[in-house]
Structure 1
Amino acid sequence: MESEDKYPLHTAAREGRVPVVEGLLKSDPKLSQRKDNDGRYPIHWAASSNNFEIVQLLANQRSFDADVQDGSGWSPLMISASVPESEAVLKLIISKDADTALHFVASKKNLDIARILIENGASTRVRDRRGQYPIHRAAAVGSVPMVTLLLKNRSPLNPTDNEGYTPLHHAIAEGHGDTAVALLKEGADFTLKNSAEELALDLAPDKEVRRYILQGAEREGIEMSG
């Protein structure tokens, strides 16, 4: 019980108790800026419980930061994107200028949420700390539909990350032949080398993957070897 008393706003946000949240914010708005023992702010709990009214109350606080991370590095937007039926809450957080969660959503192959993010202004042309665009993540997990969606929405095709990897490098390194062929079909440059001077095809985990990609490219009229 002690820990509940220590973080009453966190508890109320987690349990969806709107009147309690209202009362606490009225009496002490600074409670919204407190971290609990999990390194979470009340907004993280509100996002995970998918309570629109509570998210709105917290988002309307003057000190609100849409990109604040919890102890595990999750922002409210990332949490909301991983909760079912969260479109209303997602849109609300995005409207508060949250940085795109598109990288995260691309790595989870969540097409529906990716579409919502893009429709609400999330850019496909933003790098993360590793120098990666969302398309790098989509390629690394082998999601052809996600790669296609990102390219349709102005994603670059051949960007290099901090290691010099293009999306094609990531797709081939992870053994995703279908994704590699899809990227090649779109015109991916297979002559680019990474920081270790490796071509994307050099990273194929085995002969089967390599052969699959070469044959797929050939069917598209692309000559990769030679």
Structure 2
Amino acid sequence: MESSKFPLHEAAREGRIQVAESLLNANPKSAVTKDDDERLPIHWAVAYNRLPIVELLVAHKNFDPDVEDGSGWTPLMIAASLRDAAGDPIIDLLLKKGADVNVKSTTGQVIGQNALHFASSKANISTVRTLIANKCSARVKDVRGQLALHRAAAVGSVPIMKTLLDEGKSPINATDGDGLTALHHAISEGHGDAAILLLKAGAEAEKRDNDGRLAIDLVPDPKVKQYILQTAEREGIELP
């Protein structure tokens, strides 16, 4: 059983701080031992949001804040991906330990993403603000050619898009590997408010994707289309 092979990993997942302390004292090397999932105890502690365990592990003399698991994720990336920005206290701790906010994922479907991509995908606005304040770049494209702005647009997070544009200086009309802009992503997912924000901020409505489609061509719902067209007209925005 894995529990007998990797007891510190299990204690990290379950948040058993006293057990973790005892195991670490008995075998300090267990903190830097990967399990069958190619994860260290720190990766599990962060994934399960076990802050006391994280505090214990980051104090370890051999702690590497940027260590990757088997999927190429660092503790910072995992923390940025937790629901409802629950990983923010962990992120603060990792930053104090010198975590590199601009490390990019190296494997899987999300190669080339930094922590901003992950936080934006989960609509974690406070996390995004913290990352940008600590110089995490909003201008990095992943393997699909997507910026964090593309991810924020796809989930329809107006506050995050505004932050990425205003504070992160993200390009607004950048295209991904399919020729899609953030506006394409927002409209194709039915996010009318997100589309209007982008248009007001200077998104080019006449840009076409690799298949020759305008963003407005991708709207999935006639009510959303009507909302975008009427609001754009009211705001003095010309659409093709």
Q: TM-score, normalised by structure 2?
A: 0.80
- The Cα shift of 1:19 comes to 4.6
1:140 aligns with 2:154: yes
Matching residue of 1:53: 55
Unmatched runs of 5 consecutive residues or more in structure 1: none
Unmatched runs of 5 consecutive residues or more in structure 2: 104-113
Q: How many residues align?
A: 217
Quote the Cα distance in structure 2 between the aligned partners of 1:50 and 1:128: 29
Matching residue of 2:216: 201
Matching residue of 2:175: 160
Matching residue of 1:118: 132
> Does structure 2 conserve the Cα–Cα contact (< 8 Å) formed by 1:140 and 1:167?
yes
Per-residue displacement from partner, 1:63-103 (whole Å, max 9, x unpaired)?
x36151345x6532233231665434213334221423111
Question: Partner amino acid for 2:222?
Answer: K
Question: Which structure 2 residues correspond to residues 1-226 of structure 1 after superposition, within 5 A?
Answer: 2-14=1-13, 15-16=16-17, 17-25=20-28, 29=29, 31-47=30-46, 48=48, 49-51=50-52, 52-58=54-60, 60-61=61-62, 64=64, 66=66, 68-70=68-70, 74-81=73-80, 82=82, 86-94=87-95, 95-98=98-101, 99=103, 100-153=114-167, 154-225=169-240
Q: What is the RMSD of the two structures over their aligned residues, measured on CA atoms?
A: 2.3
User: 1:67 and 1:129, CA in 2 relative to 1: closer, same or farther beyond 3 A?
Assistant: farther
Question: Partner amino acid for 1:56?
Answer: V
Question: Partner amino acid for 2:173?
Answer: N
Identity of paired residues, percent? 45
- The Cα shift of 1:130 comes to 1.4
The list of structure 1 runs, each at least 4 consecutive aligned residues, that deviate by more than 6 angstroms after superposition, is none
User: 1:124 and 1:164, CA in 2 relative to 1: closer, same or farther beyond 3 A?
Assistant: same
Quote the Cα distance in structure 2 between the aligned partners of 1:78 and 1:70: 13
